[in-house]
């Protein structure tokens, strides 16, 4: 099936109601595709056929009885392997959790299950979601379906690749500093990061608790909106989830963008931006102007400090969160002659190089004598970046930038230089630190055929606006 003819949430619903296909037949179709292509792409780590067919059979029973179908009935979905799934292995792409099977579903997963989705399996990612290329997985890198010699982006590269290669209709990823938006850009599919607190983090294996967010990948913006409508909302199991009503995102995104003020910050178009990426994003902005939006130049002066602040805060929180993997309660245990030796050997063998690097960076930043100089100062910078965004949203309705400074880079190109890898997040970590929603939407390809993503930020809980602008770009470019 060509990408233009891919199944969508709406087309699946119509086909089920017309009895042109059953949910079980659709699951069969997707598993056949996975069987053909996953060995090449390495997008899935674990398949969940038993649960998927049980879910599909429930949908087919509802169709045969004439019951009202839930919003995602029969929709084949992939779930990033850092999100807990009852009875399905959840490894975080790490050796330390290689055999871990959660006894419960994450809240977002439970809501998808109640909405009739069919869980195909768990997708590959950077270990514990730490990385921007999906080369840090303990189970091997994912290849970009749009260019197999290149990375799919990270950390949610498996989810992005699964949707791009039509190995799932939609997928869940997580975004801490760009881990949904950057893979969306590199693979050429929409990837949405909701506002912090919009989607429950209960059941998400923590990397950086003040930054982690769950969001969808899809082949089109309406499907991303449909998934968000299901997973968003308050959850008493997550004290950071917001008790705010959930909008009807699929309905609101079709509204006209005429009259919207689109902010374009000069700091995101400075040195280091690939000329072809700049050209495609500028063309996307010109399209929005043609549709009736007004371009507003912006200055966001603290943008240049975002990478340093992010990599202190995120690593500090990772150091704290990953202390629980000690070989005592669950996961890998490597025996030692003393308790200390067991801890050391378990963590040494269980964690990969990038996770160890971030734990050490974060432990240093939190250590006595350095806390004020690093972590406290980074939090102050974070507040200034958040203020840049709140000031900007006094003047504009949405902010448009490139998602990443370059198209997808080659496998192995940056893996020997962690600093270059971290700098690839320069346009995404700002919104993460501010806690605002953002989406990457495809806005064309380079002369070499590599996808380019345009990033759209909105104010806190402004997912409808972000999706509305993204839908206008998507519609205008097709």
pLDDT score for 468: 98
pLDDT tens digits, residue range 401-441?
Answer: 999 999 999 999 998 898 899 999 999 999 999 999 999 99
Q: Is the pLDDT of residue 86 over 90?
A: yes
pLDDT score for 416: 87
- In the numeric block, the tokens 């690593």 are attached to 315
Contacts of 307 (CB under 8 A, 6+ apart): 422, 423, 425, 426, 429
Order of strands across the sheet with 261-265?
Answer: 44-47, 118-123, 76-80, 170-175, 213-218, 191-193, 438-445, 451-457, 398-402, 261-265, 294-298
Cα gap 338→250, rounded to integer Å: 57
Q: Extract the tokens encoding 200.
A: 């429950």
- pLDDT band at residue 218 using 50, 70 and 90 as cut-offs: very high
**235 DSSP 8-state letter:** -
pLDDT tens digits, residue range 268-321?
Answer: 999 999 999 999 999 999 999 999 999 999 999 999 999 999 999 999 999 999
Contacts of 135 (CB under 8 A, 6+ apart): 126, 141, 151, 154, 411, 412, 415
- Percentage, residues of the chain above pLDDT 90: 96
- pLDDT band at residue 6 using 50, 70 and 90 as cut-offs: confident
Whole-angstrom CA distances from 13 to 21, 42, 117 are: 10, 29, 11
Q: Is the pLDDT of residue 4 over 50?
A: no
Nearest partner of 134 among 315, 431, 145, judged by Cα: 145
Would you say 400 and 288 are in contact if contact means Cβ atoms under 8 Å apart? yes
Q: Is the pLDDT of residue 1 over 90?
A: no
What is the arithmetic mean of pLDDT over 369-381?
94
What is the arithmetic mean of pLDDT over 109-129?
98
Q: Which residues are designated catalytic?
A: 80, 155, 179
pLDDT score for 5: 58
Query: What are the backbone dihedrals phi and psi of residue 191, each rounded to the nearest 5 degrees, phi first?
Result: -135, 125
pLDDT score for 291: 98
What is the arithmetic mean of pLDDT over 175-198?
98
- Percentage, residues of the chain above pLDDT 70: 99
Domain ranges of the chain: 3-252
Cα gap 405→388, rounded to integer Å: 21
The alpha carbon of residue 230 and the mean position of all alpha carbons in its chain are separated, in whole angstroms, by 16
Cα gap 121→104, rounded to integer Å: 16
- pLDDT band at residue 2 using 50, 70 and 90 as cut-offs: very low
- pLDDT band at residue 478 using 50, 70 and 90 as cut-offs: confident
Cα gap 288→409, rounded to integer Å: 28
What is the arithmetic mean of pLDDT over 380-391?
98
pLDDT score for 193: 98
pLDDT tens digits, residue range 141-161?
Answer: 999 999 999 999 999 999 999
Average pLDDT, the chain: 96
Cα gap 345→350, rounded to integer Å: 8
Tell me the three state secondary structure of residue 442.
strand
Count of C-beta atoms within a 10 Å radius of residue 390: 12
Q: Extract the tokens encoding 98.
A: 């290689």
To the nearest 10°, the Cα dihedral for 41, 47, 49, 50?
Answer: 180
Beta bridge partners of 85: 88
- pLDDT band at residue 245 using 50, 70 and 90 as cut-offs: very high
Cα gap 81→304, rounded to integer Å: 32
What is the arithmetic mean of pLDDT over 324-353?
95
Cα gap 273→296, rounded to integer Å: 20
CATH number belonging to domain 3-252: 3.90.1300.10
Would you say 361 and 353 are in contact if contact means Cβ atoms under 8 Å apart? no
> Model pTM?
0.97
- 280-284: long-range contacts at Cβ-Cβ below 8 A with a sequence spacing of 24 or more? 280/443, 280/444, 280/445, 280/446, 280/452, 280/454, 281/400, 281/401, 281/402, 281/443, 281/452, 281/454, 283/443, 283/444, 284/400, 284/443, 284/444, 284/454, 284/473, 284/477
Query: What are the backbone dihedrals phi and psi of residue 433, each rounded to the nearest 5 degrees, phi first?
Result: -65, -35
What is the arithmetic mean of pLDDT over 61-85?
97
Within 13 Å, how many C-alpha atoms sit on residue 132's CB side? Answer: 31
């Amino acid at each position: 099936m060509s990408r233009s003819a891919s199944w969508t949430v709406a087309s699946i619903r119509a086909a089920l109601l017309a009895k042109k296909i059953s949910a079980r037949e659709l699951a069969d179709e997707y598993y056949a595709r996975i069987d053909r292509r996953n060995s090449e792409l390495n997008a899935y780590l674990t398949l969940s056929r038993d649960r998927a067919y049980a879910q599909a059979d429930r949908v087919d029973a509802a169709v045969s009885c004439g019951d009202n179908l839930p919003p995602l009935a029969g929709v084949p979905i992939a779930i990033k392997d850092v999100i807990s799934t009852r009875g399905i292995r959840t490894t975080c792409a790490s050796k330390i959790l290689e055999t871990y099977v959660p006894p419960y579903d994450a809240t977002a997963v439970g809501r998808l299950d109640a909405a009739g989705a069919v869980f195909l399996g768990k997708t590959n990612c950077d270990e514990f979601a730490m990385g921007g290329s999906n080369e840090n997985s303990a189970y091997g890198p994912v290849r970009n379906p749009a260019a197999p010699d290149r990375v799919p982006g990270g950390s949610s590269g498996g989810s992005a690749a699964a949707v791009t290669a039509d190995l799932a209709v939609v997928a869940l990823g997580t975004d801490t500093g760009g881990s949904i938006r950057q893979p969306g850009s590199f693979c050429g599919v929409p990837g949405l990061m909701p506002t912090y607190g919009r989607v429950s983090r209960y059941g998400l294996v923590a990397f950086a608790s003040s930054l982690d967010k769950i969001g969808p990948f899809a082949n089109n913006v309406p499907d991303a909106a449909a998934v968000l409508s299901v997973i968003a909302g308050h959850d008493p199991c997550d004290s950071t989830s917001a008790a705010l009503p959930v909008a009807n995102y699929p309905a609101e995104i079709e509204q006209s963008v005429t009259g919207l003020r689109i902010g374009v910050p000069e700091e995101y178009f400075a040195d280091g931006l690939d000329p072809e990426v700049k050209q495609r994003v500028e063309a996307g902005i010109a399209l929005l102007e043609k549709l009736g939006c007004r371009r507003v130049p912006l200055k966001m002066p603290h943008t240049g400090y975002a990478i340093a602040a992010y990599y202190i805060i995120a690593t500090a929180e990772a150091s704290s969160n990953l202390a629980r993997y000690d070989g005592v309660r669950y996961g890998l245990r490597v025996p030692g002659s003393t308790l200390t030796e067991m801890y050391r050997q378990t963590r040494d063998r269980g964690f990969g190089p990038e996770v160890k690097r971030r734990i050490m960076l974060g432990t240093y930043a939190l250590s006595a004598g350095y806390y004020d100089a690093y972590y406290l100062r980074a939090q102050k910078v974070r507040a200034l970046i958040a203020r840049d965004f709140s000031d900007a949203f006094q003047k504009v309705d949405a902010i448009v930038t490139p998602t990443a400074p370059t198209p997808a880079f080659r496998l192995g190109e940056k893996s020997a230089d962690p600093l270059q890898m971290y700098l690839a997040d320069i346009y995404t970590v700002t919104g993460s630190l501010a806690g605002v929603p953002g989406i990457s939407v495809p806005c064309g390809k380079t002369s070499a055929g590599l996808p380019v993503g345009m990033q759209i930020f909105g104010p806190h809980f402004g997912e409808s606006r972000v999706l509305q602008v993204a839908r206008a770009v998507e519609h205008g470019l097709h």
